[in-house]
Chains A and B, each alone.
Chain A
Amino acid sequence: MNYLSKLQQILESGQFAVTAEIGPPKHTSVEAVRHHADIMKDYVDATNITDCQTAIVRISSIATGVHVKERGIEPIIQMTTRDRNRIAIQADLMGAYSLGLRNVLCLSGDHQKFGNHPTAKNVYDVDSIQLIQLLKQMRDEKKFFSGEEIKQDEPQFFLGAVVNPFADPFEFRVDRLEKKIEAGAQFIQTQCIFDMERFERFMEMVCQRGLDKRAHILAGVTPLKSWRAAKYMQSSVSGMIVPDKIIERLKAAEDPKAEGIKLCIEQINYIKEKIKGVHGVHIMAIAWEEIVPEIVKACGLYPRP
């Protein structure tokens, strides 16, 4: 079989995948991006490149993806539907494909209200599910979103989507995942998991419906540096559930950073060993990219294939 990307190859060969995240900078220097890519290179299979996360203007995910690729890591380009209409999305993604980028993660994106341009106009010409469906159509039917034929060399992306088991209505989250898979999502990354019990219930429902056999689910984890970071996520980040016991544990720790790393390692090991249907882990070490290798090693996930 011809794989669309290395990430697809790893997932389809049944190996437990490891992905991480690199956030583009709010300026034009990519030194930090290159540095983070160099650090993570041997420890992850691919890294997400965020698309103006929390609606803050940064270097574009595609441009950053090219820098990361040059350092030897396969990027996963995040594409939100917040800032581009169907014309711009297709143009940018065809450009991304021409630059050698092969994985796309489709999201609706954080509302502009949360970013540094809250008075901007949002686009939302298409939603995340429609985006998956239309990129699949481009790849499998050689058709633009409009239905017009692509005469040659259509973009062939390995398509990803996100799922948030911590959003409501809880019962519908599995339905919505099914809709995304139905639309064409081949891999799924979850929101950061802190409420392991809820994630387990979610995955039980996913497995009952056989969705784990139709797409590769990567569990999202975030190492926390301090109890304040945990508290912030609990109270200020929408669609998150952070149990009090995590905050208490970090508060009580002598070395909160070490405790945060330990907690993240425990979470990954638990997910890997106890939760059925999970095919990989997505480590979102926000502003703490250097810690990824240590976590990957401690979880027995090094060396990478």
Chain B
Amino acid sequence: MIIAQQKSIEDIAKTVEGCKKILLAGCAGCVTVCLAGGEKETEIMASALRIKSRLEEDPRTIVTYTATRQCDPEYIEAMAETVKDVDAIISLACGVGVQYLAERFPDKWVVPALNTKFIGGSTLHGIWEEKCGLCGDCVLHKTGGICPIIRCSKSILNGPCGGSQYGKCEVDPDTDCAWALIYDKMKALGKLDKMMEIQPVKDWSTSRDGGPRKAIREDVKID
């Protein structure tokens, strides 16, 4: 899922300076699971903004709406009525949700409440880790199910580099070296011979380097 984290209340408030009526739009998708922008977080942020406006004697009306998903036009349609008379929308969705709202409500000032960080999962309650580099050409079948594209700080395909020591990455002693993990996994699976194959230079055109990507499924497309 997409992992996001809230910006500071000060930073969010700055983006809506001068707006008197503000909609806080939550999302019940990924950002609910990673505790950043679900219904609960939306209500808490609304309270914080209301308190701030009272303390600063800057009267503002804060309304809330949490969509099932902001990355789907049919789920944002339901907030159209609420949006009508607001000056700004603060979206607590990932960057996709913010853009869907900005596109659907072109005359409204739409701003993000979150920093969209990465795609990954939770390893412990309150800890999320990045797991996929979204390269568009999965190599996990070659690397024992561990992604070197994003989990190696150099994204190398023929690791581990000379900075791997005691199983950790040179960049951060708290980060596992992805290639040390891959080595251990391949060893355990009796597939160390795979580590001897030279992985060729990668085709990054399937990654973000090819510009914004599109996925098309002709079999399910409705024109």
The 3 closest A-B pairs by CB, nearest first: A164-B162, A238-B170, A127-B156
Q: How far is the CA of A168 from the CA of B164 in the complex (A)?
A: 6
Q: How far is the CA of A162 from the CA of B170 in the complex (A)?
A: 17
A113's nearest neighbour on chain B, judged by CB, is B171
Whether A168 and B170, one on each chain, are in contact in the complex, defined by CB atoms closer than 8 angstroms, is no
Interface residues of A in 68-115 (CB under 8 A from B): 81-82, 86, 108, 110-111, 113
Q: How far is the CA of A110 from the CA of B165 in the complex (A)?
A: 14
The yes or no answer to B154 lying at the interface (CB within 8 A) is yes
Q: How far is the CB of A240 from chain B (nearest CB, A)?
A: 8
Whether A111 and B170, one on each chain, are in contact in the complex, defined by CB atoms closer than 8 angstroms, is yes
Total A-B Cβ pairs within 8 A: 90
**Chain B residues with a Cβ under 8 A of chain A:** 153-167, 170-171, 177, 180, 183-184, 192, 195-196, 198-202, 204
Are A129 and B158 CB-contacts (below 8 A) given A167-B163, A179-B196? Answer: yes
Whether A127 and B154, one on each chain, are in contact in the complex, defined by CB atoms closer than 8 angstroms, is yes
**Which residues of chain A come closer than 8 Å to B157, judged between CB atoms?**
127, 130
The yes or no answer to A128 lying at the interface (CB within 8 A) is yes
B186's nearest neighbour on chain A, judged by CB, is A172
Interface residues of A in 116-167 (CB under 8 A from B): 122, 124-130, 133-134, 145, 162-164, 166-167
The yes or no answer to A39 lying at the interface (CB within 8 A) is no
B204's nearest neighbour on chain A, judged by CB, is A125
**Which residues of chain B come closer than 8 Å to A239, judged between CB atoms?**
162-165, 170
Excluding A130-B199, A166-B165, A167-B160, 19 further A-B contacts by CB distance (< 8 Å) are A86-B201, A108-B162, A111-B153, A124-B154, A124-B156, A125-B202, A127-B154, A127-B161, A128-B158, A163-B162, A167-B161, A168-B165, A168-B166, A169-B184, A175-B195, A176-B158, A176-B160, A238-B165, A239-B162
Q: How far is the CA of A113 from the CA of B160 in the complex (A)?
A: 18
Q: How far is the CA of A82 from the CA of B163 in the complex (A)?
A: 14
**Which residues of chain A come closer than 8 Å to B198, judged between CB atoms?**
129-130, 133, 179, 182-183
Whether A162 and B162, one on each chain, are in contact in the complex, defined by CB atoms closer than 8 angstroms, is yes
Q: How far is the CA of A164 from the CA of B180 in the complex (A)?
A: 15
13 A-B Cβ contacts within 8 A?
Answer: A82-B154, A108-B156, A111-B163, A125-B201, A127-B154, A127-B156, A127-B158, A128-B158, A163-B162, A166-B165, A169-B183, A182-B198, A238-B163
- Write the A5-35 contact mask toward B (1 if CB under 8 angstroms, else 0): 0000000000000000000000000000000
Q: How far is the CB of A203 from chain B (nearest CB, A)?
A: 17
B162's nearest neighbour on chain A, judged by CB, is A164
The yes or no answer to A204 lying at the interface (CB within 8 A) is no
The yes or no answer to A200 lying at the interface (CB within 8 A) is no
Are A130 and B201 CB-contacts (below 8 A) given A111-B171, A167-B164? Answer: yes
Q: How far is the CB of B134 from chain A (nearest CB, A)?
A: 16
Q: How far is the CB of A215 from chain B (nearest CB, A)?
A: 15
